Amino acid sequence: MERISDLKEEITLLKKKANAVILAHNYQTGAIQDIADFVGDSLELSRIASGVSADIIIFCGVYFMAETAAILSPEKKVILPEISAGCPLADMITVGELRSKKQKYPGAKVVCYVNSPAVIKAESDICCTSANAVEVVNSLKEEEVIFIPDRNLAHYVSKHTDKKIIPPNGYCPVHNDISKEDVKIMKEKHPDAPLVVHPECPDYVVELADKVASTGGIIRFSKETRAKKIIVGTEEGIIYRLKKENPDKDFLLLSREMVCRDMKKITLTKVLKALKELKPVVAVNENIRIGALKAIEKMFEI
């Protein structure tokens, strides 16, 4: 087995040779975050993917994230080091279901969370991420919004808008499984620590939180707060970055169960293999790409 330092060195060399850039989501392991050129939330990474000048993007995240990069940068080769790294939430909506909702609510606009497949984005009016969902919905002039596919984010948005939100059924298993009891235990144990959570958490968790934010927002909140101990209600990978950037603070995961197995499928060995073989490539059918691009670009205009 190769040593971690050898793997990292080889990755750095090959990356330069291939003119590749490594993007990593905040939920990636510490080892992956350390070799990445950029670490961020979905919105930050999609902005970087659209502007970066590399020939190859090695995307350390899940499929819909790499697919978004491919939609934004068709001239670049986008590689997902483990092609089976998916997002269960993204697959909780089908084109058939979306079309029947559109038929049922012909006056509504479709707002699609980026955690969704390209075909769904292509059938939507505008995309959003957890960082801008409220802003995106409030930017629309229509009064009715079909929000897909996350029901908890849809509920969170509905509390911050006067528009009628037609809710979806999807959910993220990592965030949705948090119980009231998990929150109660942590709050009782650490009464001085603020609780910061992702809006994919259920309403009863969001209600008890001091701050609700995207992973990028959680990073900013943690930097800015004067609290020395913070309870974090999102996927465990973010704790590595939080500790690295705030060595004087303590970060406590709301529940030990908050692990996204798909995010953890990306390893240094797989990144190295991907750089050597320049695959697996994530590509999107051109008709679908153009449709999806429109919905993503509308989001960027806001």
- Contact residues for ligand SF4, defined by CB under 6 A: 62, 87-89, 115, 172, 174, 200, 235, 260, 262-263
Residue 28 in contact with ligand 13P, rule: CB under 6 A: no
Comparing CA positions, the residue from 189, 180, 188 lying closest to residue 197 is 180
- Give, as ranges, the residues between 86 and 115 that touch ligand 13P (CB under 6 A): 115
To ligand SF4, the closest distance from the beta carbon of 192 in angstroms equals 28
Comparing CA positions, the residue from 39, 45, 51 lying closest to residue 66 is 45
CB of 112 closer than 8 Å to CB of 124: yes
- Measured from the CB atom, the residue of 41 and 67 that comes closer to ligand 13P is 41
Considering only residues 33, 214, 222, 255, which one is a binding residue for ligand 13P as defined by CB under 6 A?
Answer: 214
DSSP state of 91: G
- The two three-digit tokens of residue 26, written as one number: 């905040």
CA distances from residue 152 to 165, 266, 276 in whole angstroms, order as listed: 12, 27, 40
To ligand 13P, the closest distance from the beta carbon of 43 in angstroms equals 6
- Measured from the CB atom, the residue of 115 and 222 that comes closer to ligand 13P is 115
To ligand SF4, the closest distance from the beta carbon of 171 in angstroms equals 9
- Measured from the CB atom, the residue of 170 and 291 that comes closer to ligand SF4 is 170
Considering only residues 68, 152, 215, 222, which one is a binding residue for ligand 13P as defined by CB under 6 A?
Answer: 215
- Measured from the CB atom, the residue of 182 and 200 that comes closer to ligand 13P is 200
Is 287 labelled as part of a ligand binding site? no
- The two three-digit tokens of residue 211, written as one number: 């701050």
Residue 41 in contact with ligand 13P, rule: CB under 6 A: yes
CA dist., res. 103 & res. 96, Å (int) = 11
CA dist., res. 60 & res. 83, Å (int) = 11
Cβ neighbors of 272 (< 8 A, separation 6 or more) are: 7, 10, 11, 14
**Applying CB under 6 A, which residues contact ligand 13P?**
26, 41-42, 115, 129-130, 172, 198, 200, 214-215
